[in-house]
Amino acid sequence: MVAGRLAAMAWRAAWLGLLFAIVAAMPAAAQVGFDRWGGDYSSFTLRSGDPAQCAARCERDPRCRAWAFSYPATESPNPQCWLKSRVTARVPASCCVSGVRGAGVIEPQGGPIEFSIDRAGGDYRSFELPADPSGKACQLACEAEEGCRAWTYLRPGYVGGAAQCFLKDHITRPLRRPCCISGVVR
């Protein structure tokens, strides 16, 4: 009986080890909130302020293995793209989006917060607030007001130097724009 339990435990440990090895070997997709330090061979300003443009530049350059993007007013006044000759480890950094060649940009999906979405129009009040890469402060402001139905957080550096929160009295159509984080209050 003891030998059977030991064999079962050994089998589980081997299975978990194999599963971990498979997951570790998978290429890391580009993700919002991560940077990759080192391996830079080129850096430049992006006029669009869209991390997808940085990923596309990496795709077109045969030397590029990975890339990193920083939103405006975080690392510098303008949005920056760094192309990398090697894949370095991801490190958490709210300023940035990074990825490996072929991964594209993967933003958090689902839930009440809509990354890279602007809900233009319907504003009844706007105000500056401290930089918040999650947009949560703007969401909480909307939830605290009875008439607020939707909100948009404008990242600092896209229009002026400060972050802004726009509270809306009706729900507007979502538009993909890297400048913003939005949500709807139900």
Q: Tell me: the pLDDT tens digits for 17-71? A: 433 333 333 334 457 788 999 999 999 998 888 888 999 999 999 999 999 999 8
Q: Is 91 helix (H, G, I), strand (E, B) or coil?
A: strand
In the chain, % of residues over pLDDT 70: 80
Sheet arrangement for strand 150-154? 114-118, 175-184, 150-154, 163-168, 123-129
Distance in angstroms (rounded) separating the CA atoms of residues 30 and 103: 6
Q: What is the largest CA-CA distance in the chain?
A: 71
136-159 burial: b if 16+ Cβ within 10 Å, else e = eebbebbeeeeebbbbbbbbbbbe
Q: Which CATH number fits domain 27-100: 2.160.10.10, 1.25.40.10, 3.40.50.12780, 3.50.4.10?
A: 3.50.4.10
> pLDDT at position 67, please?
95
Query: Does 186 score more than 80 pLDDT?
Result: no
Mean pLDDT (the chain, rounded): 82
For the whole model, what pTM was predicted? 0.66
Structure token digits, residue 79: 């949005």
For CATH 3.50.4.10, the residue range(s) in the chain are: 27-100, 114-184
In the chain, % of residues over pLDDT 90: 50
Q: Which residue has the higher pLDDT, 85 or 131?
A: 85
Query: Does 16 score more than 70 pLDDT?
Result: no
Give residue 125's pLDDT band: very low, low, confident or very high (50, 70, 90).
Answer: very high
Task: Calculate mean pLDDT across residues 148-162.
Answer: 90
Q: What is the CA radius of gyration of the chain?
A: 21
Query: Does 85 score more than 90 pLDDT?
Result: yes
Amino acid letter for position 184:
V
Q: For domain 114-184, give the CATH number.
A: 3.50.4.10
Structure token digits, residue 2: 């003891």
> pLDDT at position 25, please?
34
In the numeric block, the tokens 């350059």 are attached to 61
Distance in angstroms (rounded) separating the CA atoms of residues 139 and 9: 47
Q: What are the pLDDT digits (tens) for 127-152?
A: 999 888 888 999 999 999 999 999 99
